[in-house]
Amino acid sequence: MVPVPRRVSARSRASASPELPGPDWVLAGRGLVDGHLQPIEIGISDDGTIVALGRDLHAPERHDVGESVVLPSATDLHVHFRDPGGPADVENFAAGTIEAALGGVGLVADMPNTRPAVTDASRLEEKRARVTGRTAVDVLLYGALTATSRVDQLAMAAGALKLYLSPTTGVERPPTRAEIPGLLQRAAASGLPLTVHAEDPAQFVLEPPPTSLSDWDRARPWTAEAAAVEEVIAAAPRELRLHFAHVTSARIAERIAKAGHSFEASPHHLLLSRASKVGPRAKVNPPLRSEGERAHLWELFALGGIPCLASDHAPHAASAKDVAFPLAPSGMPNVETMLPLLLAKVRAGELDLARLTAAAMDRPSRWIGQPRGRIALGHRADLLVVDFRSRRKITAGDLHAPCGWTAFEGYEGIFPREHYRAGERIVLAGEYIGTPTGVVRRPEFAA
Ligand code: NCD
Ligand code: ZN
């Protein structure tokens, strides 16, 4: 289409900026206005920008989704797409970003514990080449903050930094306690946001080898998480933009909130406990906690006390997981199911939609310096259409992760019916119909 600027009709009761062109088409449905679902119309220009909001908008084309709800697409701050290094038949950028698109996620932040790990600019470039033009949604790339990584180089190219304080998949030797303040200083000097995997390995009890989810919780207890969080808070320079990954306990969440830092909770810690019958497939770092701890974390999330939701999508082959507990790697897939699981909780009346959109869309986008996650004038039209009546039982056969399994088998999910990326439809009737045009994003903080 030729991008001919059109004025918004004088009859329109709409907000539109005089600098923006008129809409080429209008998406009409219901949306959150002042925390309540109301009819909304979104005017979208030919270049995929939201240029008008209101009622009775005029444009050459109109798509009315009736009672369905239009939401911004989600930003997932925590995925492991295993690319490069694979195994590619477990996960890779092309497949992982299609899962994201189908799950309503429009931007993913990919972790650096790939093979090889992203520790300098050349590794970052190698990863960038695997994203550009090959992914269904945009990607932000983490660099690894280690004693030997080239943070000066990463600062020029990475989207954020990740610090692992304990051994986990792809991380054998975490920094010593004495190294932590220096690493936090380097992160602050880089100007990049920093996400910390906070567990203190000095508090792990790994002998005798844990053989169940309950053992795993006792082996890497919440107190190990609390100790690492305290240590990082105490050593963090004021100017550091700090975020804690996968918080498992309401007490720790409240502590981080009090210190004024950002943090996330993951769907498995909100919805599953160590009582899960899934065995080693539900082995994750940090571990699933008790049912009581899970219930407290959920309660805090439902009250709006947890700023961000992030999947910690960390797939492993079923053959690697279905072994004796001590031998199984930690991590489970989640990027396609995160939002559908939580949308089902909204429908069940257990979660407020405005709180979910704050945690899954708005706050993660702000933390990572991306102008997205809200339906606002001048934002890119990255939007979802959700029909709350179309619930379905989650089953691995319907999902798209090459690893082929989910710990949420049988759980209710509400998957977006449509997903728009810059005004282009990439998901229709729950099927991916897009082309791989994803780009690598970096933070855009106001100076
Ligand atoms: C992650 C993985 O497999 O890469 N595993 C996990 O249990 N979350 C690593 C990590 O984030 O700890
Ligand atoms: Zn992770």
- Which of residues 13 and 46 earns the better pLDDT score? 46
Query: What is the CATH topology of the domain spanning 14-71+374-441?
Result: Urease, subunit C; domain 1 (2.30.40)
| Average pLDDT score over residue span 42-61 | 95
Q: What is the pLDDT of residue 2?
A: 33
Contacts of 227 (CB under 8 A, 6+ apart): 200, 202, 203
Ligand 2 geometric centre to CA of 197 (Å):
8
pLDDT digits (tens, 9 = 90+) for 81-94: 999 998 999 999 99
Contact 370 CB / ligand 1 (< 6 Å): no
Contact 312 CB / ligand 1 (< 6 Å): yes
Determine whether 12 is exposed, middle or buried from the number of CB atoms within 10 Å of its CB (0-12, 13-18, 19+): buried
pLDDT digits (tens, 9 = 90+) for 374-406: 999 999 999 999 999 999 999 999 999 999 999
Check pLDDT > 50 for residue 70: yes
Contact 334 CB / ligand 1 (< 6 Å): no
Contact 264 CB / ligand 1 (< 6 Å): no
Query: What is the CATH topology of the domain spanning 73-367?
Result: TIM Barrel (3.20.20)
**Residue 49: CB atoms within 10 Å:** 18
15-24, 175-184, 403-412: segment of lowest average pLDDT: 15-24
Active site residue 312: yes
Helix (H, G, I), strand (E, B) or coil at 435: coil
- Mean pLDDT of all residues belonging to the chain: 94
Question: Ligand 1: which atom is nearest the Cα of residue 78?
Answer: 11
Q: What is the pLDDT of residue 445?
A: 82
Check pLDDT > 60 for residue 258: yes
Q: Return the biggest CA–CA distance within the chain.
A: 74
Helix (H, G, I), strand (E, B) or coil at 399: coil
Ligand 2 geometric centre to CA of 218 (Å):
20
Share of the chain above pLDDT 90, in %: 90
Task: Report whether 200 contacts 227 (CB < 8 A).
Answer: yes
Q: What is the pLDDT of residue 141?
A: 98
Smallest-distance ligand from the CA of 166: 1
pTM for the whole structure: 0.95
Q: What are phi and psi of 11, to 5 degrees?
A: -75, -15
Residue spans of the domains in the chain: they are 14-71+374-441, 73-367
Task: Report whether 194 contacts 160 (CB < 8 A).
Answer: yes
| Average pLDDT score over residue span 238-259 | 98
Q: What is the pLDDT of residue 15?
A: 66
**Nearest in space to 191 (alpha carbons), one of 235, 152, 229, 164:** 152
Share of the chain above pLDDT 70, in %: 96
Check pLDDT > 60 for residue 366: yes
Task: Report whether 438 contacts 139 (CB < 8 A).
Answer: yes
Task: Report whether 336 contacts 315 (CB < 8 A).
Answer: no
Q: What is the pLDDT of residue 5?
A: 33
pLDDT digits (tens, 9 = 90+) for 327-344: 999 999 999 999 999 999
Q: What is the C-alpha to C-alpha distance for residues 347 and 354, in angstroms, rounded to an integer?
A: 13
One-letter identity of residue 261: H
pLDDT digits (tens, 9 = 90+) for 3-45: 333 333 333 445 666 677 789 999 999 999 888 899 999 999 9
Rg, the chain, Cα only: 21
Contact 249 CB / ligand 1 (< 6 Å): no
What is the pLDDT confidence band of residue 158, given thresholds at 50, 70 and 90? very high
Q: Which ranges of 91-211 would DSSP assign to H, the alpha helix?
A: 93-102, 121-131, 151-157, 180-190
Q: Per the residue annotation, which of 312, 362, 382, 387 is the catalytic one?
A: 312
- CA distances (Å), 153 to each of 77, 123, 409, in order? 22, 10, 43
Ligand 2 geometric centre to CA of 22 (Å):
42
Q: What is the pLDDT of residue 447?
A: 44
Q: What is the pLDDT of residue 172?
A: 83
Question: Ligand 1: which atom is nearest the Cα of residue 330?
Answer: 7
